[in-house]
Structure 1
Amino acid sequence: MPNTATLKLLDRDHVDALINPEQILFAVREAFFLHSAGKGQVFPVVREALETGGIFGIKSGGISSEGVLGFKAAGFWPSNRGAGGEPHQATIMLIDPATGRPLCVIDGNTVTTLRTGAAGALGLELLARKDSSRVCVFGSGVQASIQLDYALRVMPGIKEIEYLTYDRKPDQRFESMFDGRCLIRHSMEANDAVSRSDIVITATPGAGALFDLEAVAPGTHLNCVGADTRGKRELPEGLIAKARVVVDDINQATQIGETQWAPEVPVIEIGDLLTGRQVFTREAQDISVFDMTGLALQDLTVARLLFKQAKNESIGHDISWPW
C-alpha cells in the first residue's frame, strides 16, 4: 500500500557484497540484446562541464516489458584525487515505471566499473582474434584494472601485458593485481607497445591521442573506454576511418565517443551482433574498434539484478517512503 511503501538504499559495501562478475557479464549481455531487439529505451545523454572543474552526466532509460525505469547520475571530478577520493562518482536510481515512485538508490561506482569491464569482455569475445596473446593497456586505474581482469577471464590465450601510465612510472599496485595470471610489464614507449600487441585497451581520461596511427598493426583490435564526452579522444586521427567499428549505441557514440571524430564511418551496434541482426566476420588483416560510451541499459540491468538480490537476502537500508 502507498502508506507502507519503502525505498531501499544500497551503499558501496552492500553493492560489493552482492556483486558477482559472471552475473554482471550476463546482465550486460542482456542489456545489449534488449537494445538491439527494441525492448529497451535509451534516452538522450546529459554530459556537461561544471564550473567546479568536474563533469556531470545523466544516463537514463527503461525496459517497459520488465518493469524497469531509471537513471544514473555520474561524472568525473579529478580534484577528488587530492583528497584521497575516487574521481569517478555515480549514483543509480530505479523507479517504478507504473507510478513514477523511486524503488532503490544504489551507489553506482562499482556498478559502473564492472558493467564497463563486462562490456569490454563482450567486445573482445566478438571482435578480437581468437589467437590474441599480447595486450597493451593505457592506464592503470580502476577502469584499466577491470578491463584487464575481464579480458583475462574471456581470452585465456592472453599471456603478456604491457601497460603505460600518465606519469611514465611503473604502478606496483596495478602489477600486483595480476601476479600469476600473466606476464605484465611497464612500458614508456606507446608506439612500440601498440605495435607489438594483438589487443589495445585505452582507459584514460581521453585528453588526446595516445599513439600514432602507423603503430597499429593489421589484425589489431582496440577496446576504447575513455572518450565519453564531446571533445575527448584516445585514438589518432584516421584510425576510425580505416577500422571496422562497433559501438554500443550509434547516436551516443557519434556524439560523445571516438566515433564523434568520424561520424560518417559505417558502424555496427554490438547488440545487433548478439541478436544476429548483423554479422562480423574478421579477416586476418582487419583492424577493429569497439567504441564504448556506456548505455543506461547496462546500469539498469545490473541495478535490477542487485535490487532483486538485496530484497531476497534482506540486504540494504529500507526507508519508509509513503506517498
Structure 2
Amino acid sequence: MWVVPEKEIAGLMTAEAAFDAVESVFAAMADGKAYNFPVVREAIGHEDALYGFKGGFDGAALNMGLKAGGYWPNNQKHGLINHQSTVFLFDPDTGRVSAAVGGNLLTALRTAAASSVSIKHLAPKDAKVLGMIGAGHQSAFQMRAASKAGKFERVLGWNPHPDMLGRLEETAAEIGLPFEAVDLDRLGSEADVIISITSAFEPLLKDGHVKGPTHIAAMGTDTKGKQELDPALVARARLFTDEVAQSTSIGEFQHAAGQGLIKDADVTPIGKVITGAHEGRGDAEVTIFDGTGVGLQDLAVAAAVVDLARDQGKAVEVEI
C-alpha cells in the first residue's frame, strides 16, 4: 500500500486539483455511477470527541474507501488542530488496502472545493462581492478557493467573535482583495455570494438580511442540530446540495425540512447542474448550496494526491 503523510499534502494538492476532483465526483453521483455509504458519527464519551466514518464507491473513477476521524475539541493542549482524519483507499478489484492518506488538510481543501464548485455553477452573473460568515480554520481555504471560481472585487466579513476577523483580512490581502468587517445586514444586502462556515447551532443569516440576486454556500452544518441559516430563507431559495438525504437529515436543510417548509423533492443534487440535467440558477433570486460533506469527496481528493505523490516520489510504499 502507499502512504502519503499529512506533512506532504500541502506540497502536493492544489485548490485547482481539488476543484476538478470534487466537480467530477459530484457529476458521477448525479449519473448514478458513484454512491456514498451510510455515515457513522458517534460521541465516544472521551475528550468530548466525535468520531466516525464516511465512505463510498465511485464506479467512474474506480475509487473505493473511507475517511475515519472526527472532532477533538481539546486538541489545543496537544498542539494539534481539532479536526483529525485519515483516508483509506482500497482496490475495488481485490478489496486490498491500496493507500492511507493524511486527511486533515485534504478535508479543508475538499470542503472549499465543494463551495467553489457551487459558485461556478450557481452564482449570479457578474458577481463581484464575496461575503464571508465565519473566521475559523477553514475560512481561509474557502476564500482562496472562491477567488478562483469567481471574479470578486472585494470581500465583506462577519464572525460571532470579531477578534478573529484578522484571519479573513489577511487572507483577502493575500489574494489581492480589499476587506471590510460589516454587520450581517450589510453583508446580506451587498454580497453577491455568501459563504457560511461556522459551527453554529442557531440561525445567523436571517431571511431579512439577504436582498437581491445571491448565492449562498452553507458549509458549516454536518451534524444534527447545527444551523447557520434562517429556515424562512431556505424556504424561499432554490436549493442544491451534495447529497439530498444527508442534507435534510443532518445538513443545513434539516431545519426547514423538519418544519415542513421544504421536502426532499425541493432539493437538487448539484451534480445534475454540472452534467446539464438541471438548469441551475435559472430565474431564482436566491440559490443555496448545502455542503454537508460526503465520503466520495474525500476519496476523490485522496486518490488524486496519491497519484501526485507517486509521480513526485513522495509516497511511501509499505507491505501490509
Compared CA separation, residues 65 and 144, structure 1 to 2 (3 A): closer
**Hey, what does 1:269 align to over in structure 2?**
269
**Hey, what does 1:312 align to over in structure 2?**
311
State the AA in 2 paired with 1:10.
V
User: Is residue 170–residue 186 contact of structure 1 (8 Å, CA) maintained in 2?
Assistant: no
Runs in 1 of length 4+ with deviation above 6 angstroms?
Answer: none
**Hey, what does 2:292 align to over in structure 1?**
293
Alignment of 1:254-265 (within 5 A): 254-263=248-257, 264-265=262-263
State the AA in 2 paired with 1:311.
R
State the AA in 2 paired with 1:313.
Q
**Hey, what does 1:138 align to over in structure 2?**
133
Alignment of 1:188-203 (within 5 A): 189-203=183-197
**Hey, what does 1:110 align to over in structure 2?**
105
**Hey, what does 1:96 align to over in structure 2?**
91
In the alignment, the residues of structure 2 paired with residue 81 and residue 207 of structure 1 have an alpha-carbon distance, to the nearest angstrom, of 22
Q: Which runs of 5+ in 1 are unaligned?
A: 1-6
Matched, 1:278 2:278: yes
User: Is residue 208–residue 232 contact of structure 1 (8 Å, CA) maintained in 2?
Assistant: yes
State the AA in 2 paired with 1:270.
I
Matched, 1:56 2:55: no
In the alignment, the residues of structure 1 paired with residue 268 and residue 59 of structure 2 have an alpha-carbon distance, to the nearest angstrom, of 25
User: Is residue 143–residue 171 contact of structure 2 (8 Å, CA) maintained in 1?
Assistant: no
How high is the sequence identity, in percent, across the aligned residues? 31
| 1:315 counterpart SS class | coil
Using the TM superposition, give the Cα deviation of residue 235 of structure 1 relative to its aligned residue in structure 2, in angstroms. Answer: 0.4
User: Is residue 240–residue 262 contact of structure 1 (8 Å, CA) maintained in 2?
Assistant: yes
**Hey, what does 2:17 align to over in structure 1?**
23
Q: Deviations over 1:274-312 (max 9, x none)?
A: 1122212432x6111000011211111111111122223
In the alignment, the residues of structure 1 paired with residue 194 and residue 48 of structure 2 have an alpha-carbon distance, to the nearest angstrom, of 29
Q: Deviations over 1:191-231 (max 9, x none)?
A: 33222222211000132211322111131211001110111
Using the TM superposition, give the Cα deviation of residue 190 of structure 1 relative to its aligned residue in structure 2, in angstroms. Answer: 2.3
In the alignment, the residues of structure 2 paired with residue 237 and residue 306 of structure 1 have an alpha-carbon distance, to the nearest angstrom, of 38
Give the count of matched residue pairs: 312
Compared CA separation, residues 37 and 218, structure 1 to 2 (3 A): same
Moved more, 26-35 or 45-54: 45-54
In the alignment, the residues of structure 2 paired with residue 118 and residue 281 of structure 1 have an alpha-carbon distance, to the nearest angstrom, of 19
Counterpart among 217, 223, 226 of residue 229 in structure 1? 223
In the alignment, the residues of structure 1 paired with residue 307 and residue 164 of structure 2 have an alpha-carbon distance, to the nearest angstrom, of 41
In the alignment, the residues of structure 2 paired with residue 154 and residue 67 of structure 1 have an alpha-carbon distance, to the nearest angstrom, of 27
Counterpart among 154, 157, 162 of residue 163 in structure 1? 157
The two structures, once aligned, show a CA RMSD in angstroms of 1.7
Counterpart among 3, 18, 21 of residue 9 in structure 1? 3
State the AA in 2 paired with 1:101.
R
User: Is residue 115–residue 217 contact of structure 2 (8 Å, CA) maintained in 1?
Assistant: yes
User: Is residue 234–residue 288 contact of structure 2 (8 Å, CA) maintained in 1?
Assistant: yes
What's the TM-score, normalizing by structure 2?
0.92
Compared CA separation, residues 173 and 63, structure 1 to 2 (3 A): closer
In the alignment, the residues of structure 2 paired with residue 233 and residue 82 of structure 1 have an alpha-carbon distance, to the nearest angstrom, of 28
User: Is residue 136–residue 164 contact of structure 2 (8 Å, CA) maintained in 1?
Assistant: no
Q: Which runs of 5+ in 2 are unaligned?
A: none
In the alignment, the residues of structure 2 paired with residue 193 and residue 44 of structure 1 have an alpha-carbon distance, to the nearest angstrom, of 36
In the alignment, the residues of structure 1 paired with residue 242 and residue 192 of structure 2 have an alpha-carbon distance, to the nearest angstrom, of 22
In the alignment, the residues of structure 2 paired with residue 98 and residue 60 of structure 1 have an alpha-carbon distance, to the nearest angstrom, of 17
Counterpart among 237, 242, 245 of residue 239 in structure 2? 245
Using the TM superposition, give the Cα deviation of residue 232 of structure 1 relative to its aligned residue in structure 2, in angstroms. Answer: 0.8
Moved more, 272-281 or 167-176: 167-176
In the alignment, the residues of structure 2 paired with residue 258 and residue 198 of structure 1 have an alpha-carbon distance, to the nearest angstrom, of 20
State the AA in 1 paired with 2:187.
A
Using the TM superposition, give the Cα deviation of residue 313 of structure 1 relative to its aligned residue in structure 2, in angstroms. Answer: 2.6
| 2:163 counterpart SS class | coil
Matched, 1:78 2:73: yes
User: Is residue 8–residue 319 contact of structure 1 (8 Å, CA) maintained in 2?
Assistant: yes
In the alignment, the residues of structure 1 paired with residue 142 and residue 98 of structure 2 have an alpha-carbon distance, to the nearest angstrom, of 30
Compared CA separation, residues 173 and 241, structure 1 to 2 (3 A): closer
Counterpart among 10, 31, 34 of residue 37 in structure 1? 31
| 1:129 counterpart SS class | coil
State the AA in 2 paired with 1:117.
A
In the alignment, the residues of structure 2 paired with residue 66 and residue 237 of structure 1 have an alpha-carbon distance, to the nearest angstrom, of 36
Alignment of 1:176-191 (within 5 A): 176-179=170-173, 181-187=176-182, 189-191=183-185
Using the TM superposition, give the Cα deviation of residue 320 of structure 1 relative to its aligned residue in structure 2, in angstroms. Answer: 1.9
In the alignment, the residues of structure 1 paired with residue 291 and residue 275 of structure 2 have an alpha-carbon distance, to the nearest angstrom, of 18
In the alignment, the residues of structure 1 paired with residue 166 and residue 186 of structure 2 have an alpha-carbon distance, to the nearest angstrom, of 21
Compared CA separation, residues 161 and 63, structure 1 to 2 (3 A): same
